[in-house]
């Protein structure tokens, strides 16, 4: 074993770089293994520690030059005892490859707090003095440690300068400790930001010996202290990024100059991943246009919490034909008009498509104030709300493409009665039928002009066109679960942004390779959803929300359980309404052929020990169920949890648990 090549050991340790316990054991084998393990263990030390560790900062401080230590001692940031720090076996900073500024800041703050309690630093204990003085000391130490790290490491692959969370904590210090007798002014707040903020980040590229930045592959930025100027600085140094992630703060959405971000984006030779979080409409369109510069290389594009309300065009995304993942998650203003430019684009390589809409408070208020309009049979399509066991439900399953104008027309079409008195009604139905079978020519001619316009509105849905143009490459599609709005007075619950039935119908035809599906199920979309399950035998993960009209329907739950694909291993169910115990029996008692590994009820706070007992018994019978995810406010007791863990590998009460494959 001693003659085992070091390169081979390093390759093995590379695959264990997230397993801290195993790496630590390898560290203790012998000196040869120790030297081979240290680079992997110190590649990302801040991420391997569950909470900020003062000991880690102690090690980095001990590696500072004596001249720097004396400077910190004179400024009150270090105690004089640090001038005689022990010599370390390794120069640990040279192994660092992934660096997050906010992690370093948190660890230094934890070290300062620990030193204060132990009396290592001569810091006054008065509340307000400590509150402001520790910010000053933290800033000084962080800057010196940044210089140490960047001057030591030869190569850095990932750099995060996301200070948004830190800015919030500093602002809290200002508001909680600002003297009451001093009236707040914007000037005083800005001066406070300048004194204790992060404008010094602009100096990172100019630190002595900082030659690692040209090798940077992933860069994350967020926070408003530097106005985004750091990206303009980095654009002259970093040309080979493959991942760029920008998180807009509320301040940036109004004041930041997007041209600085655009400069960094356009400077890249071959960007593969782009992530934009919380971008405002007045800044977002400039960056979207800049995506054209990376059209040939971009494979992953994500908008998370972005605001598309306003005149924003997504036409530039149409040029990114090599995309493998396109994600719109919790975005505002995602209307059909906004995504229309993508409808004619052929995304033949697209494997993952996420389209989760969101709604702003202003839009929500307007929606709740709008009166409910009566439904007109002449120009509005509505659906049959009968019970799932009725004939109308069975007819809908058999004829999935039939969009009904009214219940009587639906019955006429499904019964195939072609008597002379009903020719006009049948022709109207059949003209709306995608199969166009048994069309009455006279009725079609009489209603051609009116129905053709109506059909055009139904079929030209941008999502349908996007799905069709993937040519069967999609493996993961997430259309979002239902969002419910509860009000104690007039409105009990109202669903928002459920996918149209036509979208589910399109998936069943054009996406036979789906492995992951997330959607909402209502009485209207149920037939289309069941056909989608039938046509996707490779489905492994299913995340669904259930409409309140289906919650107490026994036939629905049994039909759902019996329709689940045999390869399904992760099932998440969100129920609107009361989650009765009998529902578990209806569901689990009819899916004993499905080898589930993960079962999730992330919003059902009513689950208690009795519910958990039923699920545990099912897990014993199946032998495959390993993980159970429950709501944060579930009523499971500690004893019930202990009994469940005898069967399950993991039972969590943290809400949703997503398994990411891409």
pLDDT of residue 197: 61
pLDDT of residue 118: 53
User: b/e string for 244-275 if b means 16 or more Cβ within 10 A?
Assistant: bbbbbbeebbeebbbebbbbbbebbeebbbbb
Kindly give, in sequence order, each residue whose CB lies less than 8 Å from that of residue 323, ignoring residues fewer than 6 positions away: 298, 299, 300, 301, 317, 347, 349, 350
Query: Is the residue at 23 inside a domain?
Result: yes
In sequence order, which residues have a C-beta less than 8 Å from that of residue 574 and are 6 or more positions away? 481, 482, 544, 545, 546, 601, 602, 603, 604
Q: Examine the domain organization and report whether 4 and 140 are in the same domain.
A: no
pLDDT tens for residues 131-169?
Answer: 445 677 888 888 899 989 988 898 999 999 888 777 666
Name the residue with higher pLDDT: 360 or 464. 464
491 shares a domain with 428: no
How many beta carbons lie within 10 A of that of residue 495, not counting itself? 16
8 A C-beta contact, residue 555 and residue 586: no
Within a domain: 631: yes
**Cβ contact 82:27 at 8 Å:** no
Judge whether 608 lies within some domain: yes
pLDDT for residue 390: 42
* Residue with the two structure tokens 């400790």: 177
| pLDDT higher than threshold 80 for residue 435 | no
Task: Map tokens 């199969």 to a residue.
Answer: 435
Band (27; pLDDT cuts 50, 70, 90): confident
543: part of which helix (H) or strand (E)? strand 541-546
pLDDT of residue 194: 60
Domain boundary among 408, 429, 459: 459
Q: Is the pLDDT of residue 85 over 80?
A: no
pLDDT at 384: 37
Query: Residue 511 maps to which CATH number?
Result: 3.80.10.10
Taking each helix axis from N to C end, the angle separating 54-62 and 101-118, rounded to the nearest 10 degrees, works out to 100
pLDDT confidence of 495, banded at 50, 70, 90? Answer: very low
Mean pLDDT of the chain: 76
Residue 527 pLDDT class (50, 70, 90 cuts): very high
Q: What pLDDT is attached to residue 137?
A: 82
Whether 61 and 121 share a structural domain: yes
Model pTM above 0.75? yes
**Whether residue 595 has pLDDT greater than 90:** yes
Q: Once rounded to an integer, what is the mean pLDDT over residues 629-638?
A: 92
Same domain for 579 and 492, yes or no, is yes
DSSP letters of 116-172?
A: HHHT-S-----HHHHHHHHHHHHHHHHHHHHHHHHHH-S--SEEEEE-HHHHHHHHH
Q: What is the mean pLDDT of residues 317-340?
A: 91
> Is 399 domain-assigned?
yes
Tens of pLDDT, residues 181-204:
444 444 455 555 566 566 667 777
Q: What is the pLDDT of residue 135?
A: 74
pLDDT reported for residue 129:
37
Q: Are both 63 and 144 inside the same structural domain?
A: yes
Mean of the pLDDT values across residues 48-63?
86
Q: Are residues 441 and 515 in the same domain?
A: no
CA-based angle 15:21:24, to the nearest 5?
Answer: 90
Q: What is the pLDDT, as a whole number, of residue 24?
A: 84
343: closest CA among 465, 260, 179, 506? 465
| 239-261 confidence digits (pLDDT tens) | 999 999 998 865 555 556 778 88
Q: For position 401, what pLDDT does the model report?
A: 34
- Provide the pLDDT confidence category of residue 508 given band limits of 50, 70 and 90: very high
Is 170 part of a structural domain of the chain? no
Looking at 137, 153, 169, the residue that finishes a domain is 153
pLDDT of 6 reads 76
pLDDT band at 360 (very low <50, low <70, confident <90, very high): low
Is there a single domain that holds both residue 1 and residue 101?
A: no
69 found inside a domain: yes
Residues 567 and 419 in one domain: no
The model's confidence at residue 529, banded by pLDDT at 50, 70 and 90, is very high
Average pLDDT over residues 363-369: 51
Q: Indicate if the pLDDT at residue 275 is higher than 90.
A: yes
Q: Are residues 542 and 572 in the same domain?
A: yes
Q: Residue 218: what pLDDT?
A: 96
Same domain, residue pair 549 and 449: no
Instruction: For residue 341, give the DSSP letter.
Output: G
Task: Confirm whether 282 is domain-assigned.
Answer: no
Lowest mean pLDDT across 153-162, 253-262, 327-336, 622-631 = 253-262
Considering its fold, how many domains does the chain have in total? 4
Decide if 238 contacts 267 (C-beta within 8 A): yes
Domain end position, chosen among 423, 439, 459: 459
Is there a single domain that holds both residue 27 and residue 109?
no
331 pLDDT above the threshold of 60: yes
Instruction: Assess contact for 331 and 307: CB atoms under 8 A.
Output: yes
Residue 512 shares a structural domain with residue 646: yes
Share of the chain above pLDDT 90, in %: 35
**pLDDT of 267 higher than 90:** yes
Q: What letters, b where the CB count within 10 A reaches 16 and e where it falls short, cover 411-421? A: bbbbeeeeeee
Residue 647 lies in a domain: yes
Q: How high is the pLDDT of residue 5? A: 78
Average pLDDT over residues 44-61: 86
- Residue 91: CB atoms within 10 A of its CB come to 10
- For 432, the domain range is 391-459
pLDDT of residue 392: 39
Contact residues for 242 (Cβ-Cβ < 8 A; gap 6+): 217, 218, 270, 271, 272, 273
């Amino acid at each position: 074993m001693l003659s085992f090549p070091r390169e081979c050991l390093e390759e093995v340790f590379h695959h264990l770089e997230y397993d801290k316990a195993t790496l630590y054991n390898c560290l203790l084998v012998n000196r040869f293994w120790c030297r081979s393990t240290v680079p992997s263990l110190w590649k990302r030390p801040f991420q391997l520690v569950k909470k900020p560790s003062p000991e880690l900062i102690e090690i980095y401080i001990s590696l500072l030059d004596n001249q720097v230590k004396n400077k910190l001692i004179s400024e009150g940031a270090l105690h004089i005892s640090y001038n005689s720090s022990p010599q370390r076996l390794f120069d640990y900073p040279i192994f660092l490859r992934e660096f997050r500024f906010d992690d370093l800041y948190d660890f230094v703050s934890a070290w300062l707090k620990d030193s204060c309690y132990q009396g290592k630093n001569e810091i006054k204990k008065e509340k307000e003095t400590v509150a402001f003085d520790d910010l000053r000391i933290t800033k000084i130490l962080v800057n010196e440690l940044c210089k140490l790290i960047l001057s030591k490491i030869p190569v850095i692959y990932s750099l995060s300068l996301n200070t948004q969370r830190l800015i919030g904590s500093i602002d809290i210090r200002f508001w909680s400790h600002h003297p009451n007798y001093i009236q707040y002014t914007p000037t005083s707040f800005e001066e406070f930001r300048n004194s204790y903020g992060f404008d010094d980040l602009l100096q990172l590229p100019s630190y002595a010996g900082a030659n690692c930045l040209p090798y940077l592959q992933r860069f994350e930025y967020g926070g408003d202290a530097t106005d985004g100027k750091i990206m303009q600085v980095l654009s002259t140094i970093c040309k080979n990024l493959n991942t760029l992630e920008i998180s807009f703060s509320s301040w940036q959405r109004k004041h930041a100059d997007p041209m600085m971000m655009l400069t960094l984006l356009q400077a890249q030779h071959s960007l593969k991943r782009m992530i934009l979080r919380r971008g405002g409409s007045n800044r977002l369109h400039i960056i979207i246009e800049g995506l054209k510069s990376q059209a040939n290389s971009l494979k992953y594009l994500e908008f998370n919490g972005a605001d598309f309300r306003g005149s924003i065009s997504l036409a530039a995304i149409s040029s990114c034909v090599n995309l493998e993942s396109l994600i719109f998650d919790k975005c505002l203003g995602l209307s059909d008009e906004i995504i229309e430019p993508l409808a004619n684009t052929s995304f033949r390589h697209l494997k993952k498509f996420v389209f989760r809409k969101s709604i702003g408070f202003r839009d929500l208020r307007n929606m709740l104030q709008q009166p409910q309009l009566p439904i007109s049979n002449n120009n509005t399509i509505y659906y049959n709300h009968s019970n799932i066991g009725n004939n109308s439900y069975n007819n809908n399953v058999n004829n999935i493409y039939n969009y009904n104008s009214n219940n009587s027309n639906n019955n006429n079409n499904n019964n195939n009665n072609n008597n002379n008195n009903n020719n006009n009604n049948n022709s109207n139905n059949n003209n709306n039928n995608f199969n166009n079978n048994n069309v009455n020519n006279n009725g079609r001619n009489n209603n051609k002009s009116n129905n053709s316009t109506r059909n055009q509105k139904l079929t030209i849905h941008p999502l349908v066109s996007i799905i069709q143009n993937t040519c069967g490459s999609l493996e993961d599609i997430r259309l979002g679960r239902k969002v419910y709005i509860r009000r104690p007075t007039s409105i009990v619950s109202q669903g928002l942004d459920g996918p149209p039935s036509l979208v589910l119908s399109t998936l069943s035809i054009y996406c036979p390779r789906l492995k992951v599906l997330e959607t909402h199920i209502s009485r209207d979309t149920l037939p289309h959803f069941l056909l989608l399950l039938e046509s996707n035998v490779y489905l492994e993960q299913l995340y669904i929300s259930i409409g309140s009209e289906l919650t107490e329907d026994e036939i629905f739950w049994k039909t759902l359980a019996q329709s689940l694909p045999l390869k399904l291993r992760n099932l998440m169910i969100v129920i609107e309404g009361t989650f009765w115990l009998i529902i578990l029996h209806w569901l689990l008692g009819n899916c004993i052929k499905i080898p589930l590994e993960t079962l999730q009820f992330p919003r059902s706070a009513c689950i208690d020990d009795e519910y958990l007992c039923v699920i545990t018994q099912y897990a014993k019978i199946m032998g495959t169920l390993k993980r159970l995810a429950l709501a944060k406010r579930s009523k499971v007791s500690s004893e019930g949890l202990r009994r469940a863990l005898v069967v399950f590998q993991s039972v969590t009460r943290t809400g949703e648990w997503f398994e990411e494959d891409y």
